[in-house]
Amino acid sequence: DADVTQTPRNRITKTGKRIMLECSQTKGHDRMYWYRQDPGLGLRLIYYSFDVKDINKGEISDGYSVSRQAQAKFSLSLESAIPNQTALYFCATSEEQGYGYTFGSGTRLTVV
Amino acid sequence: AQSVTQLDSQVPVFEEAPVELRCNYSSSVSVYLFWYVQYPNQGLQLLLKYLSGSTLVKGINGFEAEFNKSQTSFHLRKPSVHISDTAEYFCAVTRFQGAQKLVFGQGTRLTINP
């Protein structure tokens, strides 16, 4: 099994729908992150969590919310999806500083 | 705040030729630096990282990068590329202390031609 698992891998949804992207990890890391990738923009941070009781906004959190259900699980929700949220979404985990991140395989979300 | 600029959005090279992917960063504090690779339809994998010590860092698949503090650069190099190196490469930075979040550059798409 992958260290960081994202579900679903692909999703097409309609404008205005609520959608949840899920992430689970077996690395035992406290720190978890959600990024979105857009062509030419690299990866931008949506939300991050340094432990179960800690949730922080990233640079592009508007229109998104998260839930840290356990050390191993970190979900991203789009409350009312809009077409410009069409992107590739990555979950990542890390140990404490300096060790780099472990990424999931991504969720490709299309909002029509 | 930290920022990263990857100076080339696309780099085409011939197989077995050398390649350099350029990365400059901006930060008012000490940082850690990383290069990640994304193969088609996959997530990101860590290629190499600079934490401290020797400014020349060796990574997987024959890649290396050199940290230049005076020029705030962390360029990635490989002396001879293979078709399998075709991928997108991301430079990233995080601050040495405090709340640590990786900040990514825009990515460089490396295309290897036979």
pLDDT tens profile A50-90: 989 999 999 999 999 999 999 999 999 999 999 999 999 99
Flag whether pLDDT at B104 surpasses 90: yes
Instruction: Give B9's contacts in chain A (Cβ within 8 Å).
Output: 40
Flag whether pLDDT at A2 surpasses 80: no
- Give the mean model confidence (pLDDT) for residues A11-25: 97
Mark yes or no for CB contact B43/A40 under 8 Å. Answer: no
pLDDT of residue B27: 87
Calculate the average pLDDT of chain B. 92
pLDDT of residue A97: 63
CA distance A79 to chain B (A): 24
Task: Name which of B45-49, B57-61, B93-97, B110-114 the model is least confident about.
Answer: B93-97
Instruction: Give A94's contacts in chain B (Cβ within 8 Å).
Output: 100
> How far is A19 from B41, CA to CA, in rounded Å?
22
Using pLDDT thresholds of 50, 70 and 90, give the confidence band for residue B99: low
pLDDT of residue B93: 92
Nearest to A85 by CA among A106, A66, A108: A108
CA distance A6 to chain B (A): 11
Mark yes or no for CB contact A56/B9 under 8 Å. Answer: no
Cβ–Cβ < 8 Å for A105, B42? yes
Flag whether pLDDT at B97 surpasses 80: no
- Tokens 């075709």 correspond to B86
Instruction: Establish if B24 touches chain A: CB-CB under 8 angstroms.
Output: no
Rounded to 5°, angle at Cα A41 from B84 and A68: 95
Cβ–Cβ < 8 Å for B93, A45? no
pLDDT of residue B76: 98
> How far is B108 from B7, CA to CA, in rounded Å?
8
Three-state DSSP state, B60: helix
- Tokens 């690299």 correspond to A42
Cβ–Cβ < 8 Å for A13, A81? yes
Task: Name which of A106-110, B82-86, B95-99 the model is least confident about.
Answer: B95-99
Task: Name which of A9-18, B11-20, B90-99 the model is least confident about.
Answer: B90-99
Flag whether pLDDT at A39 surpasses 80: yes
> How far is B89 from A31, CA to CA, in rounded Å?
23
Instruction: Give B104's contacts in chain A (Cβ within 8 Å).
Output: 35, 42-44
Q: Give the H/E segment covering residue B72.
A: none
Instruction: Establish if A41 touches chain B: CB-CB under 8 angstroms.
Output: yes
Nearest to A66 by CA among A39, A45, A96, A94: A45
Facing B105 at nearest CB: one of A42, A48, A58: A42
pLDDT of residue B98: 65
Three-state DSSP state, A39: coil
Q: Give the H/E segment covering residue A83.
A: none
For the CA atoms of chain B, what is the radius of gyration? 14
Calculate the average pLDDT of chain A. 93
Three-state DSSP state, B83: helix
The structure tokens listed for A2 are 């992958």
